[in-house]
Structure 1
């Protein structure tokens, strides 16, 4: 029961970390940084892209650069800063209706009204099937509701759209551990750490389970 409670808490925290930030939620006195800029002096992540490319291609190029910088980060502070920018990009649906549904689903999750949250997120994935974060949020709610099979199916949809979504990979590893598939979970956690090397809790869990597996095979 203690382990399960910790798992649920970890997933709930992941939801809060990935929820869209509204204008009212911006920290007072701290202006929002322009897209693609990491708040480190002289370090721009949005270097000019050739003008012949489309807006979507330019956005994808900037996102690719951020993921590259995240993997190469040498401090946790820098990694967290870059990860925050990536998350903000990934949580932008480009639709006011979808953003409203996502915000309402976050409230429903906080109230543990998982049925309502799933109804809202069903609408999100219907309206915006290419929006990876919609699938990720629904995967999280399905996990909290005990629907592991549906959660895994939603995670597959997330990773199909964004294979570098470390939150989805961490969530998948949690489910695999719950299903006593620790060897597979270790592989998934290792992949998440290749993308975001400063997921300290994930690294600790990965190392602990790896020791258990190696010990049982000795």
Structure 2
């Protein structure tokens, strides 16, 4: 389960995008469904464009043929999802990440309480707080925050990893397998999660992927 914990925390601590992580958007001239999505990604309101770009990237992630490309797309998605659009919220998130890295979890919780109050529609604020609650062993509050994440972004595989970890810790491994199956549909190259999923399935008398 430590591999899932690593994924949960790493996703929560994702930093700003770098130029090498950016995946290009197909142009309408390609004449494909992806090109049409790319067209929508460059029109409409900023929120609509952001959603269209994420939809496009999630589509590419699900179809990635190798782990290297999948990881590159996944990094790009996570960087986008950490962008709050608010300088104040971004600052609180940076300070919370530093507090987490320094193992000052009470301070991190205080900062993240501020994030979810200021911007309740920001999924990554809830995800970061869910991670801290998990780290302090408060599975109930962590699960509640994960549910808030998934209401806003049901494809958040890091939040799904956290949910699977909590379910497994509560000896509900059959439910954890279902959650991990869903996460692997979104990001099919989470190799450690595949291994964990197979172990849980065998323990419960199920079949491999």
Shorter-chain TM-score bucket reads 0.7 to 0.9
Q: Cα 1:104–1:47, aligned 2, differ >3 Å: closer, same or farther?
A: same
Counterparts of 1:101-180 in structure 2 under 5 Å? Answer: 101-180=92-171
Q: Aligned partners of 2:190, 2:41: CA distance in 1, in Å?
A: 34
- Residue 15 of structure 1 pairs with residue 2 of structure 2: no
What secondary structure does 2:204 align onto?
A: helix
- Residue 86 of structure 1 pairs with residue 77 of structure 2: yes
Which of 183, 195, 202 does residue 211 from structure 1 map onto? Answer: 202
What secondary structure does 1:73 align onto?
A: coil
Give RMSD over aligned pairs: 2.5
Q: Aligned partners of 1:177, 1:90: CA distance in 2, in Å?
A: 26
Q: Cα 1:180–1:89, aligned 2, differ >3 Å: closer, same or farther?
A: same
Show structure 2 runs of 5+ residues with no match.
none
Which of 15, 24, 36 does residue 37 from structure 1 map onto? Answer: 24
Task: Work out which structure has the larger RCO, using CA pairs closer than 8 Å and 6 or more positions apart in sequence.
Answer: 2
1:139/1:155 contact within 8 Å kept: yes
What secondary structure does 1:94 align onto?
A: coil
1:121/1:137 contact within 8 Å kept: yes
Q: Shift in Å at residue 15 of structure 1?
A: 2.8
Which of 53, 58, 75 does residue 62 from structure 1 map onto? Answer: 53
**Residue deviations 1:47-90 (CA, integer Å, cap 9, x gap):** 33387622211211111011011001110011001101100100
The count of residues paired between Structure 1 and Structure 2 equals: 198
Show structure 1 runs of 5+ residues with no match.
27-31
2:23/2:76 contact within 8 Å kept: yes
